[in-house]
Amino acid sequence: MKNVKEINIADYHKLKKEVVLQRIAARKKELGQDLLLLCHHYQQDDIFQFADYTGDSLKLAHNAAQVAGKRYIIFCGVHFMAESADILTDDEQIVILPDLTAGCSMADMATSGEVKGLWRELAPLMNTDRLIPITYVNSSASLKAFVGEQGGSVCTSSNAGRVLNWALEHGERVFFCPDEHLGRNSAQAAGIPADEVVIWRRGEILGGNSRKQLERARIILWDGYCTVHMQFSAAQIASTRQADPEVKIIVHPECRREVVEAADLQGSTEMIIKAVSEAPASSSWAVGTEINLVKRLTAQFPDKRIRSLSPVECKCSTMYRIDPAHLLWVLDNLTAGRIVNQIKVDKETAALASLALNRMLKI
């Protein structure tokens, strides 16, 4: 084999798939107890098969933090997930993202600078000390740090409702970002009237709202969204029910409000897996989330009728950038004593972001 120094990532893509997979298995065995490989549910099967742990973003970060003696943690997900893992792990542990371009479009829709600008605009209208910020875990470390500094909390898709109720008990208003739809669905579940929920539209003065609307609002939602879950519609649900009256519809809460209302169940990826796995044999399911997870459920439970709610494959394109070639490249470098693509959050940001993460854990 050529010296790793002489091989760039483009060369790895020239290798046959079976060769890459065989070499990944060999490198993983060679690194042994020093290595922990984490895979998100939306990851492709060629990567997923090598996982030591699988789960959603926060579950995987907890896995990283709770496993002692693992020097290298390879996170097969997207950038914000690797940041959370770095924040929650020891300083001696090294978190690696196989492809640094694997980001999250939703997380990119809300920067800490933009949210700080919102705070400055709202200051003349209300007591921002009584405005409690919540950021979805799908956000940058710098945004989590701002939320932590302002007394707010992180949330996940499974606990957003509990975190929202906590925030309403501790303040007069709540700012929820970056996912408008998770925020709206959580507000609806909490019984907040629709006229007390407003959208802050990026780039518009006062987020496109009047002073009166903002003064009345109890929930201010940032106008971010998940490109995958925006592809599901209430019309798809109606069509699916017409074709199969026995079908159960389950969707992720990042879907639009009308989709969640039309579905039978809504929940996080972990909840979707649990609901489908525990369902009776021969039951019929249409699932509104990323296609790799849906395909995996279909293969795992052949005794049930499971398919995607959308006729078009809804794939997380940024997650898909973590491919076998990048994983092998990272592993080859590690065995040669070189660390590439390390994700490192600076200490000040990590400390403030930890405040927001730990508040969530207490809630």
Q: Looking at 193, 227, 261, which one is the last position of a domain? A: 227
Residue 313 lies in a domain: no
pLDDT of 314 reads: 83
Judgement on whether residues 43 and 119 belong to the same structural domain of the protein: no
Judgement on whether residues 222 and 238 belong to the same structural domain of the protein: no
Judgement on whether residues 131 and 219 belong to the same structural domain of the protein: yes
Judgement on whether residues 207 and 116 belong to the same structural domain of the protein: yes
CA dist 319 → 39, 110, 343 (Å):
10, 19, 16
Residue 286 lies in a domain: yes
Q: Looking at 199, 227, 255, which one is the last position of a domain? A: 227
Q: Are 129 and 225 in contact (CB under 8 A)?
A: no
Q: How far is the C-alpha of 152 from the C-alpha of 167, rounded, in Å?
A: 8
Judgement on whether residues 325 and 219 belong to the same structural domain of the protein: no
Judgement on whether residues 167 and 58 belong to the same structural domain of the protein: no
CATH number at residue 20: 3.40.50.10800
Residue 139 lies in a domain: yes
Judgement on whether residues 32 and 79 belong to the same structural domain of the protein: yes
Judgement on whether residues 33 and 89 belong to the same structural domain of the protein: yes
**Residue 196 structural domain:** 107-227
pLDDT of 5 reads: 53
Residue 222 lies in a domain: yes
Q: pLDDT averaged over consecutive 10-residue blocks of the chain (363 residues)?
A: 61 93 97 95 95 88 83 95 92 95 94 96 95 96 98 94 96 97 96 96 96 96 96 98 97 97 96 96 97 95 97 87 96 94 97 94 85
Encoded tokens for 209: 């709202």
Residue 223 lies in a domain: yes
Judgement on whether residues 78 and 168 belong to the same structural domain of the protein: no
In 3D, which of 180, 177, 151 has the Cα closest to residue 166? 151
Total count of domains within the chain: 3
In 3D, which of 325, 343, 345 has the Cα closest to residue 15? 325
Residue 357 lies in a domain: no
Judgement on whether residues 121 and 88 belong to the same structural domain of the protein: no
Judgement on whether residues 112 and 170 belong to the same structural domain of the protein: yes
Q: How far is the C-alpha of 107 from the C-alpha of 29, rounded, in Å?
A: 34
Encoded tokens for 80: 């914000």
Encoded tokens for 237: 């649900």
Residue 290 lies in a domain: yes
Residue 263 lies in a domain: yes
CA dist 118 → 1, 20, 128, 279 (Å):
54, 47, 10, 45
Encoded tokens for 356: 């927001």
Judgement on whether residues 146 and 95 belong to the same structural domain of the protein: no
Centre a 10 Å sphere on the Cβ of residue 360 and count the other Cβ atoms it contains.
Answer: 21
Cis ω for the linkage preceding 178 (within 30 of 0): yes
Q: Looking at 259, 280, 308, which one is the last position of a domain? A: 308
Sign of the alpha-carbon torsion through 174, 179, 184, 189: negative
The pTM (predicted TM-score) of the whole model is 0.92
